């Protein structure tokens, strides 16, 4: 009898423990959902460029928001035979009422790199122009009405069309291509400690999945996350085949180990990145290319890329749809400025950009890291 009672007591204790864990998990999920539903969008002053740009460098220097470089079809519409044009202008907005002004230029026309805000500077890594991809890295700092550009250690190899994010003072760079003509993406992953920039870049283990371009990256709960993107492969006719990906991966910097997450509900290639981080439990993807209308014709009537928002909960490893963004956007970075997540300019549909700037706020939105 005593043994039977002991077993039953142990089972009841274990059940109470499991119930407590479930209730705690439900509470966490409930809090995360409440914060995600508080997302609000607001329109900001547009760039003084009627066309807008895709894939600029974006960040904050001395409380001024900077948008630098980028590419568009200012020389003619894509479906009319226009060619892509790269730009070097550096726009700054120090005050909402004053709007944007050009305060300098990049060392060369440049786009499709990775940028991050750090120490009153905008860190810019890689990127491309019409001829080539670059391994160069530099930082932009605003000083009065001018900018100063300071060189940084170059990446081990050229990189464009990748992604990156800051975590605990370190900048992580992932994926992309080495040349404009690559028929396969890079399996590359690097980190630079921005407190020891002279030490340069360190190569890290790569994720256990396909190489890709235009992934989205984010940081949350002490980890780096990689989602979606496009896998490249040669086509029989000599071109390149793009496959839209739904997989995701979590990298733990303390162990150097990647683990696979649950797949996304849909592809989200080239969505604004880094992802919006909320309350240390949630990353939000805003739009992206889901591949459903990749062959849409005619291009001048393209309805735009996917506008739904996806929220990933890092504890429960689950996704859900949480509303829509106000305007279709891909191939543009995000940045935090004065408590807002900024989504600047970007691509609306193939070949079409927008000069509009949108800002997101949400309860529990995390500060830059």
Alpha carbon 75 to its chain centroid, in Å, reads 28
State the burial class of residue 75 (Cβ atoms within 10 Å of its Cβ: 0-12, 13-18, 19+).
exposed
Asked whether residue 7 falls in the same domain as residue 104, the answer is no
Q: Is-contact 223 314, C-beta < 8 A?
A: yes
Residue 368 located in a structural domain:
no
pTM of the predicted model, to two decimals? 0.89
Asked whether residue 237 falls in the same domain as residue 302, the answer is yes
Can you read off the two tokens belonging to residue 54? 């895709």
Asked whether residue 323 falls in the same domain as residue 312, the answer is yes
Q: What is the CA radius of gyration of the chain?
A: 22
pLDDT of res. 238: 83
Its domain, for residue 19, covers: 1-36
Asked whether residue 166 falls in the same domain as residue 80, the answer is yes
Residue 165 located in a structural domain:
yes
Give the chain's domain count: 2
pLDDT of res. 224: 98
Asked whether residue 284 falls in the same domain as residue 200, the answer is yes
pLDDT of res. 368: 65
Residue 111 located in a structural domain:
yes
Asked whether residue 250 falls in the same domain as residue 314, the answer is yes
pLDDT beneath 70: ranges in the chain? 1-35, 37, 363-369
Residue 161 located in a structural domain:
yes
CATH of residue 203's domain is: 2.120.10.80
State which H helix or E strand residue 146 sits in: strand 146-152
Asked whether residue 109 falls in the same domain as residue 190, the answer is yes
Asked whether residue 6 falls in the same domain as residue 139, the answer is no
pLDDT of res. 18: 47
What single DSSP character describes residue 350?
T
pLDDT of res. 37: 66
Asked whether residue 162 falls in the same domain as residue 259, the answer is yes
pLDDT of res. 237: 86
Residue 334 located in a structural domain:
yes
Residue 348 located in a structural domain:
yes
Rounded Cα distance, 149 and 311, in Å: 36
What single DSSP character describes residue 6?
H
Asked whether residue 68 falls in the same domain as residue 29, the answer is no
pLDDT of res. 253: 98
Can you read off the two tokens belonging to residue 293? 């209308």
Residue 325 located in a structural domain:
yes
Residue 366 located in a structural domain:
no
Asked whether residue 274 falls in the same domain as residue 166, the answer is yes
pLDDT of res. 188: 97
For residue 57, give Cα distances in angstroms to 106, 331, 345: 10, 11, 11
Asked whether residue 88 falls in the same domain as residue 173, the answer is yes
């Amino acid at each position: 009898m005593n043994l039977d009672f002991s077993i039953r007591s142990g089972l009841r204790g274990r059940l109470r423990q499991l119930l407590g864990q479930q209730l705690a998990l439900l509470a966490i999920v409930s809090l995360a959902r409440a914060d995600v539903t508080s997302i609000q969008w607001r329109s900001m002053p547009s760039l003084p460029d009627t066309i807008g740009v895709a894939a600029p460098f974006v960040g904050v220097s001395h409380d001024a928001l900077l948008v630098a470089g980028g590419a568009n079809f200012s020389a003619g519409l894509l479906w009319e035979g226009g060619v892509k044009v790269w730009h070097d202008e550096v726009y700054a907005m120090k005050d909402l009422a004053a709007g944007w002004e050009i305060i300098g230029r990049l060392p060369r026309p440049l786009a499709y790199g990775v940028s991050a805000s750090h120490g009153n500077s905008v860190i810019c890594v890689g990127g491309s122009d019409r001829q080539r991809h670059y391994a160069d890295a530099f930082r932009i700092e605003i000083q009065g009405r001018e900018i100063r550009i300071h060189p940084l250690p170059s990446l081990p190899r050229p990189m464009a069309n990748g992604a990156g994010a800051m975590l605990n003072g370190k900048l992580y760079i992932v994926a992309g291509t080495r040349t404009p003509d690559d028929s396969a993406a890079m399996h590359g992953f690097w980190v630079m400690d921005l407190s020891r920039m002279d030490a340069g870049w360190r190569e890290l283990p790569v994720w256990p999945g396909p190489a890709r371009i235009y992934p989205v990256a984010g940081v949350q709960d002490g980890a780096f996350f990689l989602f979606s993107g496009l896998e490249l492969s040669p086509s029989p006719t000599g071109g390149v085949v793009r496959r839209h990906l739904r997989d995701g991966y979590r990298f733990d910097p303390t162990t150097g180990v990647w683990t696979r997450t649950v797949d996304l509900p849909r592809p989200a290639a080239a969505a604004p990145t880094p992802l919006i981080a909320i309350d240390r439990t949630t990353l939000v993807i805003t739009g992206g290319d889901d591949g459903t209308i990749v062959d849409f014709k005619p291009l001048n009537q393209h309805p735009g890329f996917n506008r739904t928002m996806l929220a990933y909960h890092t504890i429960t490893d689950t996704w859900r749809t949480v509303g829509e963004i106000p305007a279709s956007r891909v191939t543009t970075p995000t940045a935090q400025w004065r408590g807002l997540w900024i989504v600047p300019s970007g691509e609306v549909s193939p070949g079409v950009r927008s000069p509009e700037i949108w800002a997101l706020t949400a309860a529990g939105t995390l500060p830059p890291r």
